[in-house]
């Protein structure tokens, strides 16, 4: 996609290192040795966490996870101990009131992406785009407009209008806007646990 948008040259790949800040100390993180040396978990919790991470990198089909709630899915795999130490604050601080209704497919895709960024067991490379997400968003907007589409910002939509299973447009206040296609990025309804 970056090639199609003409911004592939703005993507840079660098070797990265990770750490986990726990009880006032930054601990190495992101490989099996770091996990085994981490002081905040029992050996059982470490093994469960490692197996979950490994199997997540091998899974290719997200669909069975889409209707599972993420925190429940993680707890079933890693256990309550590892969830409390490694995951709870991440969910709470990133999603606040929405932390306990996310799809397990969403968090699995992040675990998988980071796990597959390794080019050996102890090293990984991650890419960053010059200008961050704004570079990508502006290029997408320009491409949409170049192909006759339009992007409307600060235009709250009250509903997507459908007839049967076919999208007809959107409703903004009292006004209907007909569209052949609608891209929606709203959160899905709460998943069942």
Note whether residue 15 is domain-resident.
Answer: yes
Q: In angstroms, rounded to a whole number, what is the distance separating the alpha carbons of residues 26 and 13? A: 24
pLDDT (tens digit per residue) in 15-64: 888 899 999 999 998 888 999 999 999 999 999 999 999 999 999 999 99
Check whether 11 has a pLDDT greater than 60.
yes
Q: Which domain holds residue 108?
A: 2-129
Q: Is the pLDDT score of 116 beyond 90?
A: no
**Structural domain includes residue 139:** no
pLDDT above 70: residue 188: no
How many domains does the chain fold into? Answer: 1
Nearest-angstrom CA–CA distance, 45 and 158 = 45
* Residue 176, φ and ψ in degrees, nearest 5: -95, 135
What is the end-to-end Cα distance of the chain in Å, rounded? 35
Q: What is the average per-residue pLDDT within 113-128?
A: 75
Give the mean pLDDT of 125-143.
Answer: 92
Q: Quick check: is 171 in a domain?
A: no
Q: Confirm whether 138 is domain-assigned.
A: no
Average pLDDT over residues 86-107: 89
Residue 136 lies in a domain: no
Q: Which residue has the tokens 């490994």?
A: 54
Residue 157 maps to a domain = no
Is 134 contained in some domain?
Answer: no
Q: Which of 93-97, 115-119, 155-159, 169-173 has the lowest mean pLDDT?
A: 115-119
Domain assignment present for residue 175? The answer is no
Computed from CA positions of residues 125, 65, 50, 37, in that sequence, does the dihedral angle turn out positive or negative? positive
Q: Is the pLDDT of residue 192 over 70?
A: no
């Amino acid at each position: 996609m970056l090639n199609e948008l003409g911004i592939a040259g703005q993507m840079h790949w660098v070797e990265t290192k990770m750490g986990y800040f726990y009880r006032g100390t930054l601990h190495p993180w992101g490989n099996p040795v770091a996990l085994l040396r981490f002081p905040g978990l029992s050996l059982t919790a470490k093994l469960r966490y490692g197996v979950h991470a490994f199997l997540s990198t091998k899974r290719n089909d997200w669909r069975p996870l889409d209707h599972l709630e993420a925190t429940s899915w993680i707890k079933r795999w890693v256990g309550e101990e590892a969830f409390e130490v490694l995951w709870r604050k991440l969910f709470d601080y990133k999603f606040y009131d929405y932390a306990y209704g996310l799809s397990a497919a969403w968090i699995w895709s992040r675990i998988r992406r980071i796990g597959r960024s390794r080019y050996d067991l102890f090293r990984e490379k991650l890419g960053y785009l010059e200008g961050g997400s704004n570079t990508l968003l502006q290029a997408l907007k320009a491409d949409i407009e170049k192909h006759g589409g339009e992007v409307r910002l600060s235009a709250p939509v009250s509903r997507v209008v459908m007839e049967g299973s076919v999208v007809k447009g959107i409703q903004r206040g009292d006004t209907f806007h007909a569209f052949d296609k609608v891209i929606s990025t709203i959160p899905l309804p709460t998943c069942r646990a």
